[in-house]
């Protein structure tokens, strides 16, 4: 079978490589892909835009592609799954209605409140002054969230009223879109964050291994938020008992609430949770897709063929599977361009990937490009160096031994990915 993967990140490179582990997968096409998918055997990039549904459809038809997997949220929120389903083509990812779980935080909040899903208290405002008055009433710290898709930039954890008011002003100035502006003002929670990526076929929902992302740019979780500087799986904070609670209190009721809204959700339901100091799992956000870089860590431990699970979701047969995992742990360390998440330079020549892979790691590309047969940086997050080991400690040492082989001007990475799970304080 031939598969087409939509997206150009580390997540998509990991999905493509995982698919190619199976002898059943003959070829993977990536729209538009990156320098990694361009150089992976069996993979080919297509220079189409991710919102060019007609162009993608034409390629799928002409080339007899059996399955389309969508990585990022944007095409899902624009209705790519509806478009392909209407044409009876196999596509993995929820419809536009289902993608609202990520594309509208107020919609997701309403769904959670209605279904009794544990989530921090919040209020939704369409008026800046009312939102500001609510902040004054509630006090700080408090969390201000733009309602729509904001590429991870729409959330401010405000420690002062001034900061909260300024975040509200930014949102109502139209920074994250000018249509139907809404703001969600949410109670601030402390605890540990965990990413639960679950597969669903609209009938059953099966969590993958719990993972932990590292959103801040600096070690010890200091500094500005990024798209994710590294991840590890499984996250030991999620004990089997806690996973059972997450299944019963969060995943199943969410699926039931989607069904109640007549939404046929087939894809990934990603719950971003805060595990409070009392051990309660609460939903901070939902995403309608695989997480990046969690996917890189999680898929490297997956034993059941990925295409089996994805097809089972599309064909509503997920109940037939019990997902098998390799033992041990996996970690993904992101190598970023100097200056990220602020401004940074592109076009830096990357060397040492082969040496890194010789250390037993897999190097997934994110912001890279093949230019004149040379691999150069092309984004903020450039590579995700991923290694598995019998223990998390072994996975971490293997990953960093590989990281140290790779060079490009200005390269930056956090040196503490996964350390928290080993009991290090930060």
- In the complex with ligand AMP, the residue whose CB is nearer, 55 or 120, is 120
Spatial distance between the Cα atoms of 21 and 12, rounded to a whole number of angstroms: 14
| Partner that binds at residue 291, options ligand GLY, ligand AMP, none, CB closer than 5 to 8 Å by kind | ligand GLY
8 vs 204 by CB, closer to ligand GLY: 8
Q: Where are the beta strands (DSSP E) in 338-418?
A: 362-365, 368-371, 374-377, 381-389
Give the residue nearest to ligand AMP (CB).
Answer: 285
The single-letter DSSP state of residue 219 is G
Smaller CB separation from ligand GLY, 36 or 228: 228
Indicate the residue among 60 and 155 with the shorter CB distance to ligand GLY: 155
E strand map for 67-129: 67-70, 91-92, 122-125
List the x/- string, 190-229, binding to ligand GLY by CB under 6 A: -----------------------x--------------x-
- Identify what 284 binds: ligand AMP, ligand GLY, none; CB under 5 to 8 Å per kind: ligand AMP
Counting contacts by CB under 6 A, is residue 287 touching ligand GLY? yes
Q: What is the DSSP letter of 96?
A: H
Q: Select from 291, 277, 188 the least CA-distant residue to 237.
A: 277
Least distance in angstroms from the C-beta of 287 to ligand GLY: 5
Helices (H), 224-282: 240-246, 252-260
Which H/E stretch holds residue 73? Answer: helix 73-77
Contact between 291 and ligand GLY by CB under 6 A: the answer reads yes
> 316: left (phi > 0), else alpha (psi -120 to 50), else beta?
left
189 binds, among ligand GLY, ligand AMP, none (CB under 5 to 8 A by kind): ligand AMP
Q: Which is nearer to ligand AMP, 266 or 419 (CB)?
A: 419
Query: How far is CA 420 from its chain centroid?
Result: 20
Helices (H), 262-391: 294-299, 306-314, 353-358
The minimum distance between CB 417 and ligand AMP, in angstroms, equals 16
Q: Is the CB of 117 or the CB of 376 nearer to ligand AMP? A: 117
- Taking the complex as a whole, the smallest distance from the CB of residue 88 to ligand AMP amounts, in Å, to 34
Distance CA 361, CA 300 (A): 10
Binding ligand GLY (rule: CB under 6 A), the pick from 186, 201, 206, 292 is: 292
Q: Residue 287's binding partner, choosing from ligand GLY, ligand AMP, none, with beta-carbon cut-off 5 to 8 A by kind?
A: ligand GLY
- Sign of dihedral through CA atoms 170, 171, 177, 181? negative
- According to DSSP, the β-strands at 67-70 and 2-7 are parallel
Strand, coil or helix: 319: helix
Distance, in Å, from the CA atom of 343 to the CA atom of 101, rounded to the nearest integer, reads 30
Which residue in this structure is represented by tokens 């076929």?
A: 201
User: If contact means CB under 5 to 8 A according to the sort of partner, which of ligand AMP, ligand GLY, none does residue 201 touch?
Assistant: none
Stretch that binds ligand GLY, among 27-35, 85-93, 285-293, 357-365 (CB under 6 A): 285-293
Residues of the shown chain interacting with ligand AMP in the complex, contacts defined by CB under 6 A? 120, 143, 145, 155, 157, 186-189, 193, 215, 272, 284-285
Report the residue number, 206 or 294, with the smaller CB distance to ligand GLY. Answer: 294
Residues that bind ligand GLY in the complex, under the rule CB under 6 A: 213, 228, 287, 291-292, 294
């Amino acid at each position: 079978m031939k598969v087409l993967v939509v997206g150009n990140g580390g997540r998509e490179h990991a999905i493509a490589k995982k698919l190619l582990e199976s002898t059943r997968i003959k070829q993977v096409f990536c729209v538009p892909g990156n320098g990694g998918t361009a150089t992976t055997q069996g993979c080919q990039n297509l220079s189409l835009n991710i919102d060019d549904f007609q162009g993608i459809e034409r390629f799928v038809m002409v080339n007899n592609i059996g399955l389309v997997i969508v990585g990022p949220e944007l095409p899902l929120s624009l209705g790519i799954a509806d478009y392909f389903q209407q044409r009876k083509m196999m596509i993995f990812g929820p419809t536009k209605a289902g993608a609202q779980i990520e594309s509208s935080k107020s919609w997701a909040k309403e769904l959670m409140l209605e279904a009794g899903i544990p989530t921090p208290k919040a209020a939704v405002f369409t008026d800046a002054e009312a939102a500001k008055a609510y902040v004054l009433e509630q006090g700080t710290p408090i969390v201000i969230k733009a309602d729509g898709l904001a590429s991870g930039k729409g959330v401010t954890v405000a420690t002062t009223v001034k900061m909260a008011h300024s975040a509200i002003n930014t949102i109502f100035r139209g920074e994250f879109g000018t249509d139907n502006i809404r703001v969600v003002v949410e109670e601030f929670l402390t605890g540990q964050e965990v990413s639960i990526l679950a597969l669903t076929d609209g009938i059953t929902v099966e969590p993958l291994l719990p993972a932990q992302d590292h959103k801040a740019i600096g070690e010890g979780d200091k500094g500005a938020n990024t798209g994710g500087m590294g991840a590890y799986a499984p996250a030991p904070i999620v004990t089997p008992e806690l996973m059972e609670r997450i299944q019963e209190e969060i995943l199943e009721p969410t699926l039931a609430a989607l069904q109640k809204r007549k939404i046929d959700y087939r894809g990934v339901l990603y719950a971003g949770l805060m595990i409070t100091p009392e051990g309660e799992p609460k939903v901070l956000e939902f995403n309608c897709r695989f997480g990046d870089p969690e996917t890189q860590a999680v898929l490297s431990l997956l034993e059941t063929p990925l295409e089996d699970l994805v097809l089972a979701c599309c064909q509503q047969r997920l109940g037939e599977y019990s997902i098998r995992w390799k033992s041990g742990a996996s970690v993904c360390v992101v190598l970023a361009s100097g200056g990220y998440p602020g401004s940074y330079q592109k076009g830096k020549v990357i060397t040492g990937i082969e040496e890194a892979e010789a250390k037993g790691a897999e190097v997934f590309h994110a912001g890279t490009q093949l230019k004149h047969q040379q691999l150069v940086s092309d984004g903020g997050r450039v590579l995700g160096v991923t290694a598995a080991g019998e223990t998390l400690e072994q996975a971490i040492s293997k990953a960093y031994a590989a990281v140290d082989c790779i060079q490009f001007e200005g390269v930056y990475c956090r040196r503490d990915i996964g350390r928290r799970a080993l009991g290090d304080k930060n």
